[in-house]
Amino acid sequence: MQLPRVGIFGASGYAGIELTRLLATHPTAKLAFVASERHVGTSVAELTGVEGPTGALRYVSYGAAREAARTCAAVLLATPADVSLVLAAELVSAGLRVIDLSGAFRIADAAAFTAAYGHAAPPAALQGAAVYGLTELHREAIRGAQLVANPGCYPTAATLPLVPLLRAGLVTTDSIVVDAVSGASGAGRRATEDYSLVAMHDNVRAYKLLTHQHGPEIAQSLALATAGLPVDLTFVPKLLPIPRGILATITTRLRAKSDAVELTRVLRAAYEGEPFVRVLDRPEDVDLHRVIGTNLCAIAVACEPRAGGRVVLVSAIDNLVKGAAGQALQNLNLLLDLEETSGLTALRRFHP
């Protein structure tokens, strides 16, 4: 039997490399091409350490990749948003199914998009076709999608814990704060002094305060999953001197008397049977070591047991896996009608 073929554009960034490594051991899909204008001719083995047939592939130009894409069941874009905009338009109109890991198609409102990204939004028709790919929340829509907007790392970490409590009407929506610390790979490959080891080591800073493009994405993601519940939130991202991982803490309040046990039960019910969400009892157990190297999102909640009581949700993901390449693979599996966990079950926690 012929395995479905897929290709990657932009295969040399951190997310592209992670995707390549995941697809290299995917048992029911075949990586047919990897495109990188910067590395044309280089072998995949050299950049990624992947061995075997996938390692023997060589990066091709975007031009060559456009040809190769025709034989593919789906194409993944790990390109910057402005490049994704152009490529997706072209590939979709050629009838191909596309999963885009950039932010190009994540924000439906054109004005909000332009404010966040600083350039023109996608054509309305194309944007209208895009399905927001937070797998656990939009699984059925993703299965049939022509174009999947794979979620941002922070929005994934913020949406999964909040949505079940919002849907159940348990927490207030008017002054949510999402504070999240991220490893440096979240900022992408960088060749500047600011991102050098000497400048970043032992250092922490908040960045893009009140202007980060994931702020409106989180708001939209919550609205999308709660039938438009108007959520007012403040997003505070911080950069850590570690390579991988996001830990988000989300503060809100109870609308009526409840407690951590009930909130945990609601979260657990919402994600029962989910292969990649783990609801834990103790917030201290939601640490980065638990998720780094895996496609898991770990969640727990602390709560003052009274009406109006403070609520703190904690969630953790590996920004390059559940926050990027891993979730893209989940979505690819849905598109291709494969087992959703295919290619993701062998991922192992890395830290001792």
Find the part of the chain contacting a copy of itself (CB under 8 A) among 30-38, 129-137, 185-193, 220-228.
Answer: 185-193
352 contact partners, CB below 8 Å, separation of at least 6:
none
- The H-or-E segment that residue 166 falls in is helix 153-167
Q: Find the shortest distance in angstroms from Cβ 148 to a copy of itself.
A: 23
Nearest residue (CB) to a copy of itself, 92 versus 325: 325
Which parts of 198-227 interact with a copy of itself (CB under 8 A)?
A: 198-207, 209-210
Active site includes 72?
Answer: no
350 binds a copy of itself (CB under 8 A): yes
Q: Find the shortest distance in angstroms from Cβ 24 to a copy of itself.
A: 8
273 binds a copy of itself (CB under 8 A): no
H-state helical runs in 228-320: 260-270
314 binds a copy of itself (CB under 8 A): yes
Nearest residue (CB) to a copy of itself, 93 versus 211: 211
The gap from C-alpha 18 to its chain's centroid, in whole angstroms, comes to 12
Q: Output the CA–CA distances (angstroms, integers) from residue 182 to 9, 179, 243, 278, 343, in the order listed.
A: 25, 10, 8, 20, 25
302 binds a copy of itself (CB under 8 A): yes
Structure tokens at 49: 């350490």
312 binds a copy of itself (CB under 8 A): yes
Q: How many residues bind a copy of itself, per CB under 8 A?
A: 72
85 binds a copy of itself (CB under 8 A): no
Contact between residue 62 and residue 8 where contact means Cβ atoms under 8 Å apart: no
Q: Which amino acid is at 261?
A: V
151 binds a copy of itself (CB under 8 A): no
Chain position carrying tokens 């598109």: 335
Question: Between helices 135-143 and 326-335, what is the axis angle to 10°?
Answer: 30
Instruction: Count the residues in the chain.
Output: 352
253 binds a copy of itself (CB under 8 A): yes
17 binds a copy of itself (CB under 8 A): yes
Find the part of the chain contacting a copy of itself (CB under 8 A) among 59-67, 70-78, 149-157, 245-253.
Answer: 245-253
320 binds a copy of itself (CB under 8 A): yes
288 binds a copy of itself (CB under 8 A): yes
25 binds a copy of itself (CB under 8 A): yes
Nearest residue (CB) to a copy of itself, 41 versus 352: 352
Q: Find the shortest distance in angstroms from Cβ 9 to a copy of itself.
A: 18
Which parts of 33-72 interact with a copy of itself (CB under 8 A)?
A: 48-50
SS3 300: strand
SS3 74: strand
Q: Output the CA–CA distances (angstroms, integers) from residue 19 to 95, 178, 322, 343, in the order listed.
A: 23, 27, 11, 11
Contact between residue 171 and residue 341 where contact means Cβ atoms under 8 Å apart: no
Catalytic center residues: 153
